[in-house]
Structure 1
Amino acid sequence: MSQKQGFGFGLGKMKELAEAFKKAQQVQEGAKKLQEELEQMQIEGKSQDGLVKVVLNGNQEPRSVVISPDALGQGAEALSATVAAAMKDAYEKSTATMRSRMEELTSGLELPGL
């Protein structure tokens, strides 16, 4: 006769499952805290010449744009390119920050896609 162990789980599997739920709960709590932190961050991007600064929060939401008076004399096309460069710099810094913080939060977990 073979012995059956409830749903095919041994005691060790139940312990693993409980541990996985505990880790998932910790990640969920950490994600809420991280979301709040990202909303409060001020991440600054600049154009190469430093004439335009763009500030985003950690969720890539725009917070401010500062344009130097010197940039205004460049003309509309050049100013547009300068603003776009500052926006790109801020976006790249913001996404790198978010990615890094998510990696810290999920380190040690084997989650698909992260």
Structure 2
Amino acid sequence: MERIPGITVWAMTQSRPPVPFPDTIWDDVGRALNALHAEDWVFGDLRIPNVMCVPTESGMHAKLVDFDWAGKHGIDRYPATMNVGSMDWTPGMDRYEIMKKHHDLQMLRRLRWTSA
């Protein structure tokens, strides 16, 4: 495990006034998901506390953090302890349901839209 310098998207949205962040954040998340999906991995827990905004020489970029839920597409399942009451998960994401790549992509679309 390593410490990643930066701030989560969640923390950025909680500051007053909210700190704006560039589209490169969501583009980076999309690329990370594509890399995972190419190997049949599902991230599974795509929420704004799990997207770290990292300053670089070329601007603000993103890294995914907290891979506890990651699993194989069509094989692994979401945790039985998944909190379904406090989060608006995409359809198909529920306690002990099979993990699918399209769940990650649907969550990315939701996060990109709700954080704009």
Normalised by the size of structure 2, how large is the TM-score?
0.28
Normalising by structure 1, what TM-score?
0.28
**More helix by percentage:** 1
